[in-house]
Amino acid sequence: MNQMQNRSLSFLFQIGGLILAVLFVTIILVLVDAKPLDAFRLIWEGATGNSTRVASVFVVWVPLLLVTCGLLATFTAGLWNIGIEGQITVGAIFTTGVMRLFLGSSVSPVIVIILSMLAGMLGGAIWAALAGLLKTFGGVNEIFGGLGLNFIATALNIGLIFGAWSRPGIASMSGTEPFPEQFWLPTFQGFRISLWSIGFAIIGLVIIYFLLQGTHFGLRLKAVGKGIKSAFRMGIPTWQHMMLSFVICGLFAGLAGAIQVTGVYHRLIPSISSGYGFMGLMIAMLINFQAIWLAPIALFFAALNIGGIQLPIVMKLDSALTGVLQGSLVLFVLLMQGVKQRFAEKK
């Protein structure tokens, strides 16, 4: 009974947060002299108006979902893996690197794609493990370590695009030379989305759900996150578990980066991570680290991202507005959680 009440109360407060976020964005729209209803309709239509747009939403959904899956592992261990952006980027770099090795070789493209995606996962894992090593052995908080590693990853990426891997003659922000079509993840006829990448996302979600909910490893990770000293005293090797959670997160981030290269851009571009890492952090907070809500909320965020593209085209508004909506959504929902807690304490 009590728990039911508590849950429905939670839900009410969350809806309250959503309403406040929409109100907040509405106020901003009014301030910039735009018609809020038109803008919201435009976002909706931009995301669902035709099948190409829906497919585009899923193109965003896949990496967003994968990245957030990884982040659930680190959050469970009580870690703030801010370095997630860099892990996506390094994943993409590794994928591109391996693929370049096989350009013009006679190896089957299927094997090349598989190898390069595995390399991407490895790259993400290495970058995440670095943040973990810095924390475990260097005493560098993972937030600062991750932040530093993000900058290094970005610099590395730009350096490669304009240097070693630049297009012959015309090094540019548009990225490296596109890969030949046989190295692309096969997509739906006429759409940008690949069934394979959707498959990876769903498998990833299922794995992380069962890993965290049903396994001894997941429970130990949770214990480390909630009380590291007690967990150690109960016999859990704590730093090893933290390292493993970093590696798991890095594998997911690297896979997201690999899909960005093989399935979406077919080359390395400067903003290959597309900010999905930070968005993943927001989603993880919004769903209160519960994997069960991940798929729909990530879809919602992806839809906002794609729908927002219409804003500058039709209404001459900046598409960053959807970012404002996403950000304020997280802030207001967290705020309402705080309000609810105070409310509950009083009772």
Partner 1 sequence: MNIEFRNINKSFGPVRANIDLNFSIKSGTIYGILGENGAGKSTLMKILSGFYKPDSGQILLNGKPVIIESPADAIKYGIGMLHQDPLDFPPMRIIENFIVGQKGGLIPSYKETIHEFKELQTKFGFTLDPEAYVDTLTVGERQQLEILRLLWMGANALILDEPTTGISAQQKEKLFAALRILAEQGKTIIFVSHKLEDVEILCGKVAILRKGILVGELPAPYQTDKLVEMMFGKVITLGDRNNVSQSNIVFELKNIFVEQYPMRIENVNFRLQAGEVIGLAGMEGSGQDVLLRACVGLIRPISGSVIVIGKDLTGKNYHEFMKNGVSFLPASRLEEGLVPGLTLAEHFTIAGEETKGLFIDKEYFKQKAEKMIDEYHIIGHQSSTVESLSGGNQQRAALSLLRNSLSIILLEHPTRGLDIESAIYMWGKLKERCMLGTSIFFISGDLEEILQYSDRILVFFSGHVSPPLDAVTTSLDQLGQLIGGKGWDQVFDIQENYESNAKS
Judged by the rule CB under 8 A, the positions of this chain that interact with partner 1 are 2, 210, 214-217, 219-220, 222-223, 226-227, 229-237, 346-347
Least distance from partner 1 to the Cβ atom of residue 290, Å: 14
Least distance from partner 1 to the Cβ atom of residue 272, Å: 34
Least distance from partner 1 to the Cβ atom of residue 219, Å: 6
Q: Is the Cβ–Cβ distance between 236 and 224 less than 8 Å? A: yes
Q: How far apart are CA 88 and CA 164, in angstroms?
A: 20
Q: Is the Cβ–Cβ distance between 162 and 270 less than 8 Å? A: no
Nearer to partner 1, 41 or 233 (CB): 233
Least distance from partner 1 to the Cβ atom of residue 288, Å: 13
Nearer to partner 1, 180 or 227 (CB): 227
Nearer to partner 1, 83 or 218 (CB): 218
Which has the closest alpha carbon to 258: 202, 196, 313, 314? 196
Least distance from partner 1 to the Cβ atom of residue 213, Å: 9
Least distance from partner 1 to the Cβ atom of residue 237, Å: 7
Q: Which residue has the tokens 């803008």?
A: 39
Nearer to partner 1, 316 or 346 (CB): 346
Least distance from partner 1 to the Cβ atom of residue 247, Å: 17
Nearer to partner 1, 2 or 106 (CB): 2
Q: Is the Cβ–Cβ distance between 273 and 64 less than 8 Å? A: no
Separation of CA 105 from chain center: 33
Kindly give, in sequence order, each residue whose CB lies less than 8 Å from that of residue 34, ignoring residues fewer than 6 positions away: 315, 317
Nearer to partner 1, 7 or 226 (CB): 226
Q: How far apart are CA 191 and CA 188, in angstroms?
A: 5
Q: Is the Cβ–Cβ distance between 255 and 66 less than 8 Å? A: yes
Least distance from partner 1 to the Cβ atom of residue 143, Å: 21
Nearer to partner 1, 227 or 312 (CB): 227
Query: What distance separates the 2 farthest-apart alpha carbons in the chain?
Result: 71
Q: Is the Cβ–Cβ distance between 317 and 1 less than 8 Å? A: no
DSSP letter (8 states) at residue 262: I
**What distances in angstroms separate CA 229 from CA 16, 129, 238, one per listed residue?**
37, 22, 9
Q: Is the Cβ–Cβ distance between 16 and 337 less than 8 Å? A: no
Nearer to partner 1, 220 or 266 (CB): 220
